[in-house]
Every structure is written in structure tokens, then in C-alpha cells.
Amino acid sequence: MQYHNNEEDSDPMPKLIRITTAPLSLKYLLSNQMRYMHENGFDVLMVSSDGKEWPDLLANEKCPNRIVPMTRQITPFKDLGSLWRLYRLFRKEKPDIVHSHTPKAGLLAMLAAKLAGVKIRIHTIAGLRFMTATGFKKRILVFMEKLTAKAAHHVWPNSFSLLEYIRINKLVKPSKLQVMGQGSSNGVDLSRYSPEVLKPEILDEIKKMVGYDPQYRYILNMGRIVKDKGVEEVLQVFDQLSKENPQLRLIVLGAFEDDLDPISTAAKNILETNPAIIHIDWSDQVEYFMHIAELLLHASYREGFPNTLLQSGAMGCPIVCTNIEGSVDIVTHGETGLIFQPGQAVDLDQKLRYALQHPDEMKQYSRNLRKKVEDNFSQQYLHECIRQQYLLLLKKKQGMK
């Protein structure tokens, strides 16, 4: 199955292929980036597996696409089929640059692009899955990361703290490593993530969705409902706090992913039975939830450079997050938010209680973070940093001919 927009462009522009495992990543992690490159001198092709996000992607990015089936799990026989399809695609399209994002797409795309003779191969690392794995699975995931890096010419971690972790653990040849701009894979769209541009009618819809009542204090937790996102600690701590303070409400915005990293039965029971918890599978209008929330909790165990924190910072929503790579590039404890140790419910409980008891201090942190986001992480700034790097790499390749 394939989708195409109607736009035809015959200009002799360098061809760029952007590839992720699932279209969800293209839509949410790289929003507006493909369109920016297309509007600024590149012939862009989007590649991913099939999914419901494609129609919206094509409408927003205005670039053509190809469907290549890929799985997120370790599936050797299916992966070989995907590798072959990507190799044939690259041989046919003859791209100047293949730029991958997400672990499985990165492995398959870098190997296929190397086999196909693509001259510029770039992989972005936005988190390392093996950081929370153990045993044989961890060894496999480490091997996959190293193989991806070996096949790539350039590896771009999306934060300086992640680059340092990669360097210390010798996952990638140091000469291949580089961070774009000040970090992030996509920056934040300040024309969207600003309280001043919210539409009252949409805000009313979101308030109705959560049963908003100004007497309550709303806490927001966003992301996939899996162990790696620290959801269990969030639910455990909130369950106790809500018994002590009936004014508290927790909005859990995200869907279950029981096939990959399910939360415990006890945690799921809290989510489903605590009347102070509002669960919403997902919404594309996350900025409205950030606007009505007093705090954002981000309890993830691993990240590259979390868009959620950038967006929350842009929206002026105070943050309590984990002390992990990526997050610490955005949030500084006691300056732009509060930080607790991942997986530590006691530490989360202490920081959350402090935040609730000191709302004025938290709002000042949020103002500090908004300024930091404006100065360093706007989407247009990051997109242009990436585009300039593409041009530099193309120029170097042409000079080598």
C-alpha cells in the first residue's frame, strides 16, 4: 500500500530519504522537518512501514512516500525481507543522503544504504533501548547499535549527554559523532507551543474531555504506558497523594503497549480504578493539556532528547522529571525544574510534594525554561542547522570526486 501527494517537482535537487520504523515517528518526532527540507532545496522521500498516520503526514509534509514493512521487535526473517526491500528502493531512487531515525529503521537503512552505495549515510540516535534491557537481549541490542554505527558515515545523538554516554561506552567511532545545534531531533514549533496562540474553542473541548473543574489541581503524565516511561512510579505515588489530597487529579495521556513493555497488573489496576486519574489514549493537541496542567511529570528511564519536555517548557508548564541523559540537557534542577532519580518512587514523592507546596517557585522555573527553549531549541533554528550540515556533507562529497 502506498500513498502519494500530487506534487511533482522536476528540479535537480539533491535527493534526501528520511526513514523511521513507523510513520508515528515521522509524524510526532520529526514534524515539519521533511517539508522544511523540501521547501529549501531538497527532493525529499519519506519511508516507513504502513500506518494510519500517513494521510496526515502527506498533508502536512507535502513530500512523497514509500511503504516498507518493518517491525519494532527482533524478527530476523522479517528483517531480512525489509533489508532487501530497502536495498532495492535505494538502488532505484539513488539518494544522495539517507538519514534514519529509530533503532530498527536505523539498522536496516544504514546496512541497505551501504550495500546500495549511498554516499552519505546518517543515523540519529534519540535514546538507547539497551539501557533498560538485561541479559541476552541487551547484548543483542548493543550489537545492533554498533552495527548501525559501523554502517553509517555520521551518527548524530540528539543531546550532548547522550553523546557523552555513547563515547564513554565506545558504541560509535568518535569521529562520526556530532550533535546538531544545541540538541533535539526536531526542536519545538514556537508558533504552535505558546499559550497565546491557543484557540478557546479547542481549549473548551479539552476541558470537557477531562471534566475540568477549577477547584482541582491537574498533573499531567504523557507518553506510552510502559515500564520504561516510569508510569508505575507515577501511579504508585499519585495513588497515595490523591488519598491525602482530594483536590489532585492526574491526567495520563497515552496508550498501552502491552506487547513491548507492559506495566504490572497492580499499576494497571490503579490506573483503572482510582477516580482521581483521567486516562486518555492520545490526543494530537497536547499543548492544551499542558496549558491546564499545574505540573508535568516525566518519569522515563531513558531518553535521547525528549520533545515532551521541550513542548512543556514552551507552554510554560512546570516540570518534574528524571535525572537521565537527554532530560538533563533541558531541565536543570532548581533552575528550570525539579529532577528525581529514575525508578525511585520515594524520590519522586518528595519532589512532587515539594512542587505542589511551592507553586510560585515552580512557575519561575517554567519562565526560565521558556527563555532557554526560545534561545536554543526553536524548530526553525534546528531545521536550518540540519540543512546546513547536509549541504556541507554534499559539498565535501562533490569535492572528493
Residues 351 and 393 in one domain: no
Do 208 and 128 belong together in one domain?
A: no
pLDDT in tens, 215-240: 999 999 999 999 999 999 999 999 99
Does any domain span residue 3?
A: no
Instruction: Kindly state whether residue 293 falls inside one of the protein's structural domains.
Output: yes
Q: What are the angstrom distances between the C-alpha of 190 and each of 147, 200, 218, 219, 373?
A: 36, 18, 23, 23, 9
Q: What is the rounded distance in angstroms from the CA atom of residue 128 to the CA atom of residue 16?
A: 25
CATH number at residue 315: 3.40.50.2000
Residues 180 and 211 in one domain: no
Given this model, what pLDDT does residue 401 score?
57
Percentage above 70 pLDDT, the chain: 97
130: pLDDT strictly greater than 90? no
Neighbours of 173 (CB within 10 A): 13
Measured between alpha carbons, how far is 25 from 105 in angstroms, rounded to an integer? 11
List Cα–Cα distances, 229 to 196, 252, 297, in angstroms: 30, 12, 10
Distance from C-alpha of 115 to C-alpha of 10, rounded to nearest angstrom: 27
Distances (CA, A) of 367 to 73, 196, 207, 315, 316: 40, 14, 24, 9, 6
Q: Is residue 295 part of a domain?
A: yes
Shared domain for 346 and 231, answered yes or no, is yes
255 belongs to a structural domain: yes
By the 8 A CB rule, do 142 and 130 touch? Answer: yes
The three cell numbers of residue 148 are 548501525
Domain count, the chain: 2
Residues 232, 116, single domain; the answer is no
Task: Assess if residue 2 is contained within a domain.
Answer: no
pLDDT digits (tens, 9 = 90+) for 47-97: 999 999 999 999 999 999 999 999 988 899 999 999 999 999 999 999 999
Please state the rounded mean pLDDT for residues 6-19.
74
d(CA 76, CA 73): 9
Residue 4 lies inside a defined structural domain of this protein: no
Q: Are residues 204 and 341 in the same domain?
A: yes
Residues 59 and 103 in one domain: yes
173 and 220 co-located in one domain = no
Kindly state whether residues 274 and 337 are assigned to the same domain: yes
Task: Dump pLDDT digits (tens) for 15-47.
Answer: 999 999 999 999 999 999 999 999 999 999 999
- With respect to residue 82, please indicate whether it lies within any of the assigned structural domains: yes
Q: Give domain status of residue 128, yes or no.
A: yes
- Domain extent at residue 132: 15-187+379-400
Same domain for 388 and 302: no
For residues 235 and 138, state if they share a domain: no
Identify whether the C-beta of residue 25 lies closer than 8 Å to the C-beta of residue 126: no
Arithmetic mean of pLDDT over the chain:
94
Q: What is the pTM of this model?
A: 0.88
* pLDDT tens per residue, range 257-287: 877 789 999 999 999 999 999 999 989 999 9
pLDDT per position as a tens digit, 303-326: 889 999 999 999 999 999 999 999
On whether the CB atoms of residues 263 and 231 are closer than 8 A, the answer is yes
315/368 same-domain check = yes
Which pLDDT belongs to residue 133? 82
